[in-house]
Chain A
Amino acid sequence: MASGDQSKGGTASQYLSTDQDAALDMTTSEKVVELLNQASLISTEEKLVILKQVQELIINKDPSLLDNFLDEIIAFQTDKSIEVRKFVIGFIEEACKRDNELLHRLIANLNMLMRDESVNVVKKAILTLTHLYKVALQCLVRTKSVSDMQEACWDMVTQMKDDVLALLDSDNDGVRTHAIKFTESLIITLSPRTPDSDTPKKHEGDISLDKIPKDHTYIRYDTLSEEGKFALEQLLKFMVHPAISSINLTTALGSLATLARQRPMFMSKVAQAYETLHANLPPTLAKSQVSSVRKNLKLHLVSVLKHPSSVDFHGQISTLLLDLGMSQNEITRCTPATAQPRKRLQHEPFVEGKRIKMETALAEDDEDKEEPAPVITPKPSSSVGTQSSIDLTAEYLLPLLSPENVANLVLISMVYLPEVMPASFQATYTPVESAGTEAQIKHLARLMATQMTSAGLGPGLELCKARDEEVKEEEGQSEISSKDPLIIRKYSAVSLGQAISVLGGTYKSPVTEETPQIKKLPEPILPTTQPKAPGASGRKKVFKLADVVQPFSEVQVEKLINMSVNRILHSEKAIALSGMSHIRMKLLARLVTQFEGGMKDDLMQFILDDMRSRSELAFSLLYHEYNEYLSQQPSGSLDSYEQCLFSLLSGLQEKPEQRDGLFTKLVLEAPVITDSALEVIQRYCEDESRVYLGISTLKELILKRPSRQFQYLNVLLNLSSHEKEKVRSTALGFIKRMYEKEHLKDCVEKFALTYMQFLVHPNPPSLLFGAGEDTEVAASWTEETVRQCLYLYLSLLPLNHRLVHELAAVYTEAIADIKRSVLRVIEQPIRGMGMSSPDLLLLVENCPKGAETLVTRCLHILTDKVPPSPELVERVRDLYHKRVPDVRFLIPVINGLEKNEVIQALPKLIKLNPIVVKEVFNRLLGTQHSEGSSSMSPLSPAELLIALHNIDSSKCDMKSIIKATNLCFGEKNVYTTEVLAVVMQQLMEQTPLPILLMRTVIQSLTMYPRLAGFVMNILARLILKQVWKYPKVWEGFVKCCQRTKPQSYNVLLQLPPSQLASVFERCPEMREPLLQHVHSFTPHQQAHIPSSIMAVLEANIRKQEPEPEPQHPEIMEERQHVSVPVPQEEPPAPAPVAFTEPEPEPEPIPSRREVDEPMEQEETAHAVLEVTPEPASQMEVAEEATQSSSVTEKTEEPMEESSAMSADVADLPQVVSEDADTDPGTSNVD
């Protein structure tokens, strides 16, 4: 605790001196007493100040007082405050430095404080021990005759030293840090200072190993040296710990640098440690910690590099520095100029000294060591001696690093690359610049050697280990010899000087042994239990077998048996070569079946390890087991056999790849298939990757083992409702084949029907959930469970059409959910049966009550792609006419019906749900599917539309008819201009005229404006037919004229006057343009117009005479311009417009700016006009005519009104409706 505390002390003394002025007369002693008295009473902070004063007084001012007040101060070591306890430690250090003798008294206190509960106190204690250890050693060296007290003190110090070394493993980071520093200092103290040691000036006088006399009475030079080395080992070991903290690592790096500089003999170890560390930065470090550590490493490497003794390691160090990102220039700058390769003289003497001693020790050793160790001991301290294991391994690797090898290494190691780049790698990675050069290869070899050595591999390591062991052995011998005082004493006279010192040390040891601490002392002094004693005694006994041989215990016997069997087991190849494998197999099988115990498992494992080549052994074993069972027949149990078969089968199942038929073979050749074996087979079948193998094996079993055929078949059948698709379909495939076998047919069919019968239960039976019993669980039916019950049945159906009636029977009883599911799943099988199936026809014919939806569904499925066959049509017709007059039956076969039948059914059909109607039309118009049915329709599109017009309105409401016609108009591809022309033509020729005639005309016109000419023709001919007699048609007629002006003017002029007047009544705005039209005629043409017509035309003008005429043309122009009829011009029509505003009546002031306003009015009036007078249906005609022009596909929207009976079962083809059962539709059908 040098400068820091001294400076503090300095301030304290200044502070004190002022105090002292105040109390001049007081002696120092009195002062101290007073201070101490104060100190025990006051707060920590003040206490510290006062205690520091005391320390100053008794250590620096008047050391004679130190002894007196020691106890008082030390008493504070139990103080509550950590700081006070730390002060005590500081005091101990200062006191001991002042008076070394005090150490004997205080060391125990320090020891106590080192076990303090506060880490801060412990750390302080470690720091202090760092200094006091040297003090203690120094003190011991100085005194020639060592007192008991001194010995005890040293023992304790030694023990504390060991404790601190153990603290390298402490949980506390800070404690570890301090322990590292202690270790560093310890190593320096316990190793000799050499001329090239770079010792700091302040430590010039410090004790070190070289100052310890080799003939010291108590401490032993070589023990201390060993302790120092041990400490170094500890430190190095600590450093390579993979989870070392960054601070500890930093500290250790610094310590190593200090060691290398102050004790160059360790240079090689340090360099190696640095190298290892650099290549293996702990993975636990964070990124920034890695950079901190690397920075430190660089710093310390440079400091080591600057040391002259590092010259031998410059290569390694520069490589490391290059890797750490230093430039070559910088490195050169840091290298001392006098870098002349010097001899490693400095540490050779150290080694040599030891060697000599060892040799002497060895020389004393007696000859009972059989190895020729003594002969080889004086090794020339050649390069081998100093080369580290890394060097050796690197040398070994160097020639091996051919490009090819390196490439292979890289490829192999690719596999082991981690997914994320570790922080340490990222930091250490530098691109390889000089790849392939000798230097780089050397570097690589070193890197690899470093890794290998740290992993405990490589020839270098082995060599070094061998070397170390040799040395240790030698040392061990020397220790043993020195431990035996008698021998040493005996030879002491002839030993060399060093040996005498050893003797001296051991001579003392009996004394020290008595002190309790002795146990903690380093081993050499400990009287260890004689490891050599029995051998060395060499006494010979008379040989008696009984003495040596004892009966084996049961365990041993068993072990031996097992071992023998194992030997037979594993001598497979050897025996195979000799051609006696069959005997081996027999032997094994017999042995194993006869003995209980683990052998069976071993054998089984052995077989399973390579089942393919050991299958014979497996069979042999199996038959032996069965034989065993047979031989004990009456009471024998199959357990063992079953166990064997089971293990084999399940073992096979666990093997990933099993292509050959070993499994099948095993199953088929096994004498008996037990229940558990069957379970394994079943597991096999349930394994998707093995299912085919499993099921075909099962099939073989069924066919080839008739005795239990049905049991196996049952397993197979159960698989038919398996949840895994692949298992199920494979099973179904095999079952179908079984079904062809006459004797199995019944069983399969029964099973299928039983399963289907489940559907009539309110809940699915637990059987379906894998449970064995037939108890019903409360679960409800799901799509899945329904299907499960049907899979087998449905796959049998195409094979045996008869079964379809069973389905119908079940169907009628099942609940709605099930019905729906059934309808969904039958498509495939029904289609498979085809419409010629007599059973299906029979089903249609009979159509059981409640199965109507099923039958309908079947019909739909059958006719979906193919036109219905006459037989089918016949049955349906029959059904419809005689039993269930539901028109929906007819839909699937509609194209098979006669024309008149269709027409008859039309009114009913178009009242159905709009989706269904659409479907019907699709079928009739052939727009349903691309292929097939188109040619078959009994009605041409034109006929259909005509038929719609001719539906008796008493049979069907007008709305449905209109919607149906709209559907037709929706199919623009079908209803072309030609078709529509034909339709109109034919309709027009009918008498009476169909109500919807004009609607269709208008709609056609909207769709195809180029039909206008044709329409004019129609209109003209309608006049001949006195169209006005049909009010609705007349209404449409007028509307049509209105739309088709001006073409319609000529038609209008053909009307009789009264009818023309009626037109104007409806559309007053027509009059003026028509009049204009007539005015534009040539006089000759005008002459053709009857006056009665003209009268009607001009009726209004005469009324309006008083109005100023000249305005008209302008307004007229305006009106014509916007091509809107002008209501103001006429007097309001009497009836229809009666409720409109009276505004039109007062003649508008004919001014320009008012033009807009009346226009608006006129529009509203127009709208009113359209709406008011018409009866509901007519109004719709108009409305829809306009709408359909813009939206042709308007069929669905307004349908709901007409859906009184729409939402029922009839929508089956598209969506199988939600309530096939509960729906009123079904009851209708009845």
Chain B
Amino acid sequence: TMKRLFSTSHSSVDSKEMRKFQLLAHKWWDEEGEYSALHSMNDIRVPFIRDTLLNMSSNYHLGTPLSGVKILDVGCGGGLLSEPLGRLGASVTGIDPLEDNIRTADQHKSFDPVLAKRIQYKSSSLEEIVEECMETFDVIVASEVVEHVADLEMFIKCCSQVLKPEGSLFITTINKTQLSYVLGIVVAEKMIGIVPEGTHEWEKFVPPEELEHILESNGFTVKSVNGMLYNPLSGSWSWMESTSVNYAMHAVKSGARGQSSPGDAPSETEGEQPSATAGTTM
């Protein structure tokens, strides 16, 4: 069936955003190119995801610490984060609304038979897979994505629907502060060009307090928030106390099953879900 990727106001996909990324669809895997900062972000976001999940589980498979974990990589782009997660043993589904990104990702993984088996890519928005993927995934990663979505509340609701109870949601994104405007847009885009110009719009940046609020009112418990800092001289990322520029958040979906019934289409007029409390029964 032909899926309409643009225009529906009930989509979290922003068509203007898609056009920006279209132009760069072939540049994903140049480690020194436009996406070099995302490549080096793997040095902190992969260990963060890996160690959080290892701490939560008691199984350990030598050599493949994420073996048996089903991960959804939302807004996977060219697969920069899907591939390391796949190498660590996870079964990864990467989705991205832009077909060219998926094509790039598919081609890049095709040369490695192990990755080709562990990772599946699909050109799709998050809403489009909700119906067939209810409570399917152990983990969702939405890295450098929420600052590009049109409707954040709906995005989070969809995440909740496809995530198993007690599943983990990892988000990395940019705060909305004066500092993030100066560093994230003026410096990063206009001055030293470590991010292609026009990639980000400060209006769509998400403060961690707002993200936490949306998460908590949609059945999630926020477990940790950490600030991240990029050093353009060394080209490397590090953790920092302050979340005033970039930050990473880990949240866990409550254990009570079926917060909303599977058939409902996500709707903007839906009232606030009661916060998850332990022991709610159907």
- Whether both chains belong to one complex is answered with no
Chain B interface residues toward A at CB < 8 A: none
Chain A interface residues toward B at CB < 8 A: none
